[in-house]
Amino acid sequence: MAERTGTNRVNPAALATTLRDSIVRLNRRLRQVRPLGDVTQSQLSALTSLELAGALTPRELAEAERVQPPTLTKIVAKLEQLGLVQRAPHPTDGRQVVLSATDAGREVFTEHRRARDEWLTNRLAGLTAEEQATLNAAAAILTRLAKD
């Protein structure tokens, strides 16, 4: 819990640390809740970016994933080998390709999301109504904080 200042306000720097640590721990736990299979966390992350964006060039995907192009090349190659990602000609630039999730890739994405949602739903169900209401309010605030 973040410390309070003399005016009974929470110290923003302490809150930032507490909040960041809590989000990191929750995110780490959610990443652990996934169906068994051949897809690694980095591959799932790239697949998620493609599913949310629709289609991206390899450069755009590398930027979204914050990885170097050679790293992304390996990730995409494995996703293609698994039949989860496909390449198509770029609609306006014949020198480029766009990557998108296949139907099988969308199924993998959906199954992973379902498993995480199920785990979190079960955890939230164990909280009091007041705790659930607090988290509901916090979710709206976190969404606002995350906007650019």
Q: Residue 25 pLDDT more than 80?
A: yes
CA angle 145, 58, 41 (to 5 degrees): 60
Confidence of residue 15 (pLDDT cuts 50, 70, 90): very high
Where residue 54 falls (left for φ over 0; alpha for ψ -120 to 50; beta otherwise) is: left
Give the mean pLDDT of the chain: 91
φ/ψ of 85, rounded to 5, equals -135, 145
Q: Percent of the chain at pLDDT above 70?
A: 95
Confidence of residue 109 (pLDDT cuts 50, 70, 90): very high
Annotated domain spans of the chain? 12-146
What pTM does this model have? 0.79
CA angle 119, 146, 67 (to 5 degrees): 80
> 3-class DSSP state for residue 97?
strand
Confidence of residue 9 (pLDDT cuts 50, 70, 90): confident
For 37, the token pair is 């299979």
Query: Of 4-8, 29-33, 69-73, 89-93, which has the strongest mean pLDDT?
Result: 69-73
For 83, the token pair is 């039949």
The answer regarding whether domain 12-146 maps to CATH 1.10.10.10 reads: yes
Amino acid at 86: Q
